[in-house]
Amino acid sequence: MTQTIGILTSGGDTPGLNAAIRGVGKACQTHYGMHVIGFRDGFRGLMENRTMALDGDILSGILTLGGTILGTSRDKPHKMPVNGKVMDMTETIVANYHANQLDCLVCLGGGGTQKNALRLKQAGLNIVTLPKTIDNDVALTETTFGFDTALGIATDAIDRLHSTAHSHHRIIVVEIMGHRAGWLALGAGISGGADVILIPEIPYDVTSVADAIKARKRKGKPFSIVAVAEGALSQEEFAAQQVAAAKKKEKKPKEPEPELVYAERTLKLARQLELLTGLEARPTILGHLQRGGTPSAADRLLATRLGTAAADLIAAGQFGYMVAARGETSLPVPLDEVAGQVKIVPPDHPWVASARGVGTSFGD
């Protein structure tokens, strides 16, 4: 009997999602003779049973497209706003899975998606996931698709900011995405030659950042690029956050409205650096630019590799796994081990050591 596979994309969009949809879909259809359908807008579309046929020519011509042809959302099966109330819609999702006679659901997403996918596995569904996010913070995979493209965009931005910082003898504080992980800021900071890199994993002392900038000025370089991860914290902010988290131990601290909080911190840092160095400072927030447009060749390759590996896994009847990137190959890792884990930058990571090796300050 022909097997039917469902695909959805969930969480923030990422370059390479369409390449992955194509990889899974084409391998399932042409190699294994499976029937493939898409669900629109993540778990919400599955809950509302909004489908999209993925047969015929629809998977052709999407390899190079940014975004996701399926649409996405951050909705969670067990906490979904419906008619003004937040409801557990897991049962409806399970019912729609069976109504569509699915043999497996493939969920393409980041850390949040892995957790939601595990819940659906626990509700009895056959699930396979792929790791996507520009943040590169999914556990147990070497990398995630979307990261390489965002790295290229953020590096290009730093390159461009260099010439204007140089011409005006200014500090440019460039805020780079990554949520609570510093991979993107660290990678782009190294590749773009930022003078200071600030990441959440290494709380900074603003006077130490200012000292690094003043030392450059003394050496005849009265301009600096500060690459700050959106989740980076000063040592005071970090300590305050620890205290607040300890106080709310029983109750998980409410997720802040991220972008505004991040932007406020970046503006504050730029102002502090002006005062401490006597140089003009300008903030630049790269924001969603980093998620837009054509995926890089490396992301297309990774998404295709992982997508076709997902099809092989399904054909072998193996469910409950995330297809992780391991060197030149891929490895199925149990969802139970991935979900709820965040891969952050170890402060002694080789990238950090390399950056320090070329004289980059981490403000610590």
Q: Active-site residue numbers?
A: 135
44 binds ligand F6P (CB under 6 A): no
| 8 A C-beta contact, residue 8 and residue 45 | yes
- CA distance linking residue 321 with residue 27, whole number of Å: 18
In the complex, which residue's CB is closest to ligand F6P? 177
The residue count for binding ligand F6P (CB under 6 A) is 12
CB of 80 vs ligand F6P, minimal distance in Å: 16
- From residue 38, alpha-carbon distances to 116, 129, 132 in Å are 17, 14, 17
User: Looking at residue 67, what DSSP letter applies?
Assistant: S
148 binds ligand F6P (CB under 6 A): no
179 binds ligand F6P (CB under 6 A): yes
- Cβ-proximal residues to 89 (8 Å cutoff; 6+ apart), any chain: 43, 47, 77, 78, 80, 82
User: Residues 17, 24, 118, 134: which binds ligand F6P (CB under 6 A)?
Assistant: 134
154 binds ligand F6P (CB under 6 A): no
CB of 176 vs ligand F6P, minimal distance in Å: 9
Site for ligand F6P in 205-244 (CB under 6 A): 230
Measured from the CB atom, is 25 or 178 closer to ligand F6P? 178
Residue 305 backbone zone (phi > 0: left; psi -120 to 50: alpha; other: beta): alpha
H or E segment at 114? helix 111-122
User: Residues 6, 178, 189, 200: which binds ligand F6P (CB under 6 A)?
Assistant: 178
Site for ligand F6P in 272-301 (CB under 6 A): 291
133 binds ligand F6P (CB under 6 A): yes
| 8 A C-beta contact, residue 137 and residue 110 | yes
| 8 A C-beta contact, residue 217 and residue 189 | no
Q: Would you state the structure tokens that stand for residue 122, as one six-digit string?
A: 């626990």
Which residues lie near ligand F6P (CB under 6 A)? 12, 110, 133-135, 177-179, 230, 258-259, 291
